[in-house]
Chain A
Amino acid sequence: MGNKETIVDPRGPIIFDIRNLWAYYGEKPAVKGVTCKIPEKRVTAIMGPSGCGKTTFIRCLNRLHELSPGARVEGEIFLRGKNILEIDPVVVRRRVGMVFQKPNPFPTMTIYDNVLAGYKLLGIRLRREEADRLVEEALRKAALWDEVKDSLHKRGTYLSGGQQQRLCIARALAVKPEVLLMDEPTSALDPKSTAKIEELVVELKKTVTIVIVTHNIAQAGRVSDYAAFFYLGELVEFGPTSQLFTVPRDKRTEEFLKGKFG
């Protein structure tokens, strides 16, 4: 079990305060008693071998986990001091956006409508200029504007995989979330698109907190300020990336970083 010395509280403002979080599929726990604090406007990387509960963990943070059949969550997750397990999940998901492993733009919508999906699907009406402005702003933030500004009214699915993933980032950013969860956002992409998304992640932390799951240790090293290491559902170690990478406090973290498993 992760003990006090291996879980280091971040300095500066905290956005998520997670206390003794357990997440189950049926009777089987996939996240076991995780306690940690996620720093605001920083990139936090979630690492660990396959099946250790990384995806399950971040899906608790926007309450997507509970939609899996038989899923259950215990513990507390404070988002700016309010336990999100006690507020309407729909509200939580507006504040905590998510980008998935495989790009998933809406196939029936244009690029423009995809970006505005967070408004259109909820029936929120926008004035034309406001909509245009939101689309441009989100696409610029997602570093996609220059590539698509002349084809905004084409289907989102016509874009390349990497572009589709940035479109999904733009879609998540358009509703102005406080946190952006990313579950291995580059694992389905080529190296060039991956580099682009990594750059983007570093750029985005100026305005939004990022929690990114990654299988790629080097990627965690490049983009993250803080890193968490999960093993068999437990949070083994949490701390500044530089510290965790150079002087890991737990033997399992060290072995993982050396490529012993995963």
Chain B
Amino acid sequence: MRSILWRKFKDRSALVVITVLAFLPALPLFHILYGIFRLGLPAFSWNFFTHLPTPPGEPDGGVGNAIVGTLMLSMLASVLAIPVGILSGVYLSEYARGRFGEVVRVAADVLQGVPSIVLGIVGYLWLVRPMGHFSALSGAVALSLMMLPVIVRSTEEILRMLPYTLREASLSLGVNYWRTVIKVLIPTGLVGITTGILVALSRIMGETAPLLFTAFGNPFWNFNPLQPVDALPLTVFKYAISPYQDWIRQAWGASAVLTLMVLGLNLISRILARRLSGDGK
């Protein structure tokens, strides 16, 4: 009798422990979100979003240039990484048989493991040194190298999931393989491929390290990809380590903007993923 009660008790307590542990990873996330928004949201104002930074102590400074820079960097990196990533993913899923495919696959996996600061150095060596100055483009190259493996592998996986009968349906109509890929496979896997791209984007938007010796930072408006630009993570980095109260306040604000962007992307990709598994049959 006692032993049954004892076992029941053990069972119950195990459940409690597991539940608490399961919640543990969510705890720091909520704590961070709470901290960022509590300290960051008060920094939000019209000027904060539209003005250039000001020297410490001068009022009305903003991070407008950094927002523009982050958007520019994300866009350029996407333009570079998306076509290459999708094409390599297609290659791996549809054409790669044997050794060469394996090499590409391993390369993508290794690239995914390379520390982001090293990719910054790559951007520096490839573009900054030859051009003689920092630029948004070099930063975007570094970021696109981070996006690439994510897009490649997710595209490959999504296409592999599509049934072979889908390819046969198209081929049997006299459509060649390449057109079948472009007109049937990619559209059918589009939701999944897009999800992969958004995941990749949300990973790079918050990166500081690859930008340190590439995009570099720039306290002025810049819309030219061949010139240095500011970016939100750079602003956070610079302001957060400064001793000035209002810069630190703005660092929180910039973190909040960045977090909202990433959360937004995550939300969109989640909605898309739900559509993929829901009616996407």
Contact = CB atoms under 8 A, between A and B. Distances in A.
A168 B169 contact: yes
A122 B179 contact: yes
Contacts of A120: 183
A157 B281 contact: yes
A131 interface: no
Interface in A69-114: 69, 90-94, 97-98, 100, 102, 104-108
Nearest to B162: A107
Interface string A58-73: 0000101001010000
A118 interface: yes
Contacts of A92: 174
Interface residues of A, number: 29
A62 B172 CA distance: 7
A31 interface: no
A62 to B, nearest CB: 6
Contacts, number: 71
A122 B163 contact: no
A121 B172 contact: no
B280 to A, nearest CB: 8
A88 to B, nearest CB: 9
Nearest to B180: A121
B97 interface: yes
A121 B188 contact: no
A161 B280 CA distance: 17
B47 to A, nearest CB: 46
Interface string B144-173: 000000000000000000010110111111
Nearest to B172: A98
B176 interface: yes
B56 interface: no
Contacts of B184: 106, 121
B115 interface: no
Name the interface size band of chain B. 20 to 34
Contact of A172 (B172, B180, B280, B281): B172
A171 interface: yes
Contacts of B281: 107, 157
Best-surrounded residue of B97, B163, B168, B179 (most CB of chain A within 10 A) = B168
A139 to B, nearest CB: 16
B187 interface: yes
Interface string A30-73: 00000000000000000000000000000000101001010000
A232 interface: no
Contacts of B187: 108
A175 interface: yes
A62 B169 CA distance: 12
Contact of B174 (A93, A105, A168): A93
Given A69-B97, A121-B183, A121-B184, A90 B172 contact: no
B173 A175 contact: yes
Nearest to B183: A121
Nearest to A96: B172
A100 B168 contact: yes
B102 to A, nearest CB: 16
Best-surrounded residue of B97, B170, B187, B280 (most CB of chain A within 10 A) = B170
B16 interface: no
A106 B171 contact: no
Contact of B170 (A62, A91, A121): A121
B173 A64 contact: no
Contacts of A168: 169
A229 B183 CA distance: 38
B118 interface: no
A195 B280 CA distance: 30
A122 B180 CA distance: 9
Contacts of A97: 172-173
Best-surrounded residue of A98, A108, A118, A171 (most CB of chain B within 10 A) = A108
B45 to A, nearest CB: 45
Given A106-B188, A108-B188, A121 B173 contact: yes
A92 B174 CA distance: 7
Interface in A9-27: none
A117 interface: yes
- Chain A to chain B: the 5 pairs with minimum beta-carbon distance, closest first: A94-B174, A93-B174, A98-B172, A104-B165, A118-B173
11 contacts: A69-B97, A90-B176, A98-B172, A100-B172, A118-B174, A118-B175, A121-B173, A122-B174, A171-B169, A171-B173, A175-B173
Interface of A: 62, 64, 67, 69, 90-94, 97-98, 100, 102, 104-108, 117-118, 120-123, 157, 168, 171-172, 175
Interface of B: 97, 163, 165-166, 168-176, 179-180, 183-184, 187-188, 190, 280-281
Given A94-B174, A121-B170, 6 more contacts: A90-B175, A104-B165, A105-B169, A121-B180, A122-B174, A175-B174
